[in-house]
Amino acid sequence: MTSRLAAAALFASIALASNVTPGRAALPPIHDRVEQFEAVLATPGLADALSEHGLIDRVERTGDLTFKVFAGKCFALIVLAPVPLPEGMVGPTRYEGSLGTVACE
C-alpha cells in the first residue's frame, strides 16, 4: 500500500512540476487547426452571407483565431472563440465562429 501511495505522490509531483494536468488536454496542432477550419465553415450566417457571390473558394488564416473566407471577389471575416467545457470535463478545444464584415474587392 505504501508503494502505491508513493507512486501516486511521485506522479502528482511530476505532473505539477511539468504543468501538465488532465484539465489541459489538447489536440496536436494539426488536429486543432482542422477543428478551427471546421468551426469557420460552420459559422452561422456564413453561407447566406456569401451565397450570392459564388461558392467558397478558399479560407485564409489571418491571425491567431481570425480567418477570411473568400467567394469570388468577396470575403467574410470570421473570428473564433474557444467554447468552454462543462465544469470538471476535459477534452480538446472546440470553437464557435462569429461572422464579421462581409466585403467585396
Distance of CA 36 to the CA centre of its chain: 4
**What is the pLDDT, as a whole number, of residue 19?**
43
Distances (CA, A) of 2 to 11, 12, 15: 14, 15, 20
How far is Cα 27 from Cα 8, in angstroms, rounded to an integer? Answer: 25
Element (H, E) at 101: strand 94-104
Encode pLDDT of 5-64 as tens digits. Answer: 554 444 444 444 444 444 445 678 999 999 999 999 999 999 999 999 999 999 999 999
The answer to whether residues 85 and 25 touch, using CB atoms and an 8 Å cutoff, is: no
How far is Cα 75 from Cα 103, in angstroms, rounded to an integer? Answer: 6
